[in-house]
Amino acid sequence: MAIRNISVMLFIFFLSNITLAVNGLLPPKLFDVTKYGAIANGRTDNSLAFLRAWGDACGYEGKSRVWVPPGIYLLGSVSFSGPCNGPISFLIKGTLTAPTDPRMFFTDTWIGFRYVDRLTVAGGGYLDGKGPAAWPYNDCHKNPGCKPLPATLRLDFITNSRVHHLRSINSKNTHINVFACTNLSISQVRITAPAESPNTDGIRIGSSNTIKISNSVISTGDDCISMVSGSQNIDISYVACGPGHGISIGSLGRSHENNDDVVGIRVSKCTFIGSDNGVRIKTWAPSLSSLASNITFEDIVIRNARNPIVIDQQYCPLSGCMEGDSAVQVQNVMFKNIWGISQTKVAVNIQCSGVLPCKNVQLINIHLAYRVVTDRRPLFALMSWVPLMEDRFLLAVYKCAI
């Protein structure tokens, strides 16, 4: 009887595979990088083995999974390109480590995915960017012609995809860079770099639409999340940030960069712990024209952030800045339900453009104390070129004076 049941099951399995093949589909298939020659010793460059595994998986006419087993894999600069013939997953169970040879630093990408639809990058593994070996080469703060350092994970032209359950540590530059992507979800990621590490943005988004980031922890040396030109319909929730420079829109309007509008941003239910900033909008001055509109920061907890609420339209972190006003119009911005402790007395700092004053900026239900709740010294709200047109705005300023 048992033999007969096994025979029936095998027949059903065989018949289902025939049906899938007739319909142009194949059963899911695993592509193990170790079967392509990858060696998990932390010393052998596995770039070719990974690219071969990706090539076969991407060409497979069904659901495919590139599998990186436990172990430490040295990986040079690689770009995994599509389009692929079906949904594809890149599952990292082990640790991928970047090169420490300075001759391999000066590129914009360590691990890249391009032109892929229905991509999943996950697995619970680590991306170790080996940043300490490269940070001394980062002199961009004083050298306008500085050479680029690689982003740990670069996603270009990715659609209908997910990144989840990954850990990125010590990126040489940005940890996750998102460019020209649509309908991308990033969740359950942990990003870590020292507070003093230069330009190590956690997640940087540009020229992308319908991006969701949630349930993640980001501790880094630059913006936890930054949204630059062309970011539209971005939803960020349940993110813990700190150390870092906060969650920022911008910087916008710099002359040599793309200046598409930033529209439809929502940041909610996030916590800032010991960060330099909380929620921030920053634009260069002088700048090219663009728009930042329909932006909401809501249900935010501040735990010892230096600058909890910022609009800075005189942004210029370089020496020798030119004088002038920002031509970026900031409008329809709401800061609502923001509580916590500020490290500085200036809890709300809104410095708008002199030629294009902010429009319809609302602060509602803002409760911020200075350092400790029992310290009753007043907080301040510094504001320039902000039309005070609504009672709710005036009430919020009043509530800031704890």
Q: How far apart are CA 27 and CA 20, in angstroms?
A: 7
Q: Which two tokens stand for residue 101?
A: 């040879």
The C-alpha R_g of the chain, in whole angstroms, comes to: 24
H/E/C letters for each residue in 66-134?
EEECCCEEECCCEEEECCCCCCEEEEECCEEECCCCHHHCCCCEEEEEECCECEEEECCCEEECCHHHC
Torsion of CA 181, 186, 191, 196, to 10 degrees: 40
Residue from 201, 222, 261, 276 carrying the catalytic annotation? 222
Q: Which two tokens stand for residue 348?
A: 């709300």
Q: Give the closest residue to 68 by CA, choosing from 47, 43, 99.
A: 47
Q: What is the largest CA-CA distance in the chain?
A: 88
Q: Which two tokens stand for residue 374?
A: 């029992």
- Annotated active-site residue 245? The verdict is yes
- Annotated active-site residue 222? The verdict is yes
Residue 274, class by beta-carbon neighbours within 10 Å (0-12 exposed, 13-18 middle, 19+ buried)?
middle
Beta strands in 3-81 (DSSP E): 26-32, 41-45, 62-68, 72-74, 78-81
Residue 233: half-sphere exposure toward Cβ, Cα within 13 Å: 10
Residue from 156, 175, 201, 245 carrying the catalytic annotation? 245
Q: Which two tokens stand for residue 31?
A: 């592509």
Instruction: Tell me the catalytic residues.
Output: 222, 245
